[in-house]
Amino acid sequence: MIDKKLHLLALVFFVHSCSFVSFSDAIPLFKSAILEPPKVVITKEEFEARSFSFIIAQFEDGPGAIMTLSNVAENGVLEWVSADNQLIYTRNGKVISTYGLLHDFQYLNWSGSSWETEEQYPLKRLVSLKNPDAVVEHDVFLESLPAENIYVQFEEIAITSLLKETVKIELLNWQAENYYWLDEKGLVKKTIQTLNPKMTPLTIEFFYIWK
C-alpha cells in the first residue's frame, strides 16, 4: 500500500556496474531515477457517495491510500484502516500510532490530552520505533503560523489555525517539522507529519462524514 518499494533488480545491476560506489552514495541516484508516485484523487461525487469518514494518506515517495474510519475510542483516538489492513491512529489530527507500515511507530506515554494548546509546550514524549527497533525521546515544540485557506481535493477549506510542530530526537541528531491545518470547527483538515526517521513525510487529508 504505502510502503516504500525497493527496486532490487536495479540495485543488483547498479552494484555490479559501479562496485566502488557505497550504498549511501547510491541512494540519491536511485531517488532521482524514480518517477513521482501518482496522487490519490477523489471527486465530490465520490465523497458524497461514501457512508463513513475517511482519510487519504500518502508518503512523499510512495503511492497513497484511502483509509476508512473503523473505530472511535472513548479518549477520542480514531482508527483508520486501509484495504490491506494497515492501521493509522490519530487524535486531533495527530498520528499517535501505526500498524503494518514498513517503519511503524507509537507514542508510549500519550496522555490523551489535547495537543493544540501552546502553553503545554515544550514537552517530551517517549516513542517506540520499529525496523529498526528503538525507544527514543521526542522533544516537542509548537508554534502558530499565519493561516490561509487551502484546497483539499475538490474543496476550498477555510483555515483558522495553522500549527507547526517541531520534533527533535537528540540521540539521533534528527529533527522534523510537522504541520496541521485546522478549520473553523477546530478539526484538522490536512496535516504533514514525519513519523519515523526512516520514512519520508506523510500527508493526510481528512474527510468527515456526519450521518
Residue 86 shares a structural domain with residue 146: yes
Residue with cell 522534523: 176
In DSSP notation, 92-149 reads TTEEEEEESSTT-EEESS--------GGG-SEEEEEEETTTTEEEEEEEEEEEE----
* Grid coordinates belonging to 103: 517503519
**Number of folded domains in the chain?**
2
Q: Give the model's pLDDT for residue 64.
A: 87
Parent domain of 19: 1-31
Please check whether residues 122 and 196 belong to one and the same domain.
yes
pLDDT of residue 6: 38
Q: Tell me: do 102 and 2 sit in the same domain.
A: no
In terms of domains, do 27 and 91 share one?
no
Residue of 112 and 191 predicted with greater confidence: 191
In the chain, % of residues over pLDDT 90: 65
pLDDT score for 115: 56
Please check whether residues 22 and 50 belong to one and the same domain: no
pLDDT in tens, 114-143: 555 667 788 899 999 999 899 999 999 999
What's the mean pLDDT when you consider all of the chain?
82
Residue 141 domain-assigned (yes or no) = yes
Clarify whether residues 157 and 127 are in a common domain.
yes
Task: Look up the pTM and report it.
Answer: 0.80
Q: Which of 10-19, 34-43, 136-145 has the lowest mean pLDDT?
A: 10-19
Residues 48, 19 share a domain: no
133 and 190 part of one domain: yes
